[in-house]
Amino acid sequence: MEGGVYLGKHTTIGIDYGRILNTVEKTIRGLFFKHTGQPLPKDHTVFRHLLPKVGKATSDKSRTLLNELVELLLTMPVVSIGPQVFRYKYCIEEKKS
């Protein structure tokens, strides 16, 4: 109870944010394959963030990019897997030449 108030014994669960983000990245890569029939190329980056932490840990450029992405996704249709099981929106940006 050093430096705090004793609240009794409670069950807690530690959250491993790195593990969650790795799972999100694998899911994104799998969905890319589902929609294109090809794996995500090695020179592509999966952009994933926990939204409450975006403002604290990213640059202004990253926040601007995220805001632009959110605005784009708002215009895309919802894709559903199973009845009320998993829903998402996506867009695939074509490489600019």
| DSSP secondary structure string for all residues of 5-53 | ------------HHHHHHHHHHHHHHHHHHHHSSPPPTT-------HHH
Q: Is 5 within the bounds of a domain?
A: no
Q: Is 6 within the bounds of a domain?
A: no
CA distance 25 to 48: 7
Q: Is 12 within the bounds of a domain?
A: no
Q: Is 97 within the bounds of a domain?
A: no
Tell me how many domains the chain contains: 1
Torsion of CA 38, 49, 92, 35, to 10 degrees: 40
> What is the pLDDT tens value at each position of the chain, 97 positions in all?
456 777 788 887 888 889 999 999 999 999 999 999 999 988 888 877 776 655 555 677 777 877 888 899 999 999 998 888 999 998 887 766 5
Q: What's the predicted TM-score (pTM) here?
A: 0.66
Q: Is 66 within the bounds of a domain?
A: yes
Q: Is 82 within the bounds of a domain?
A: yes
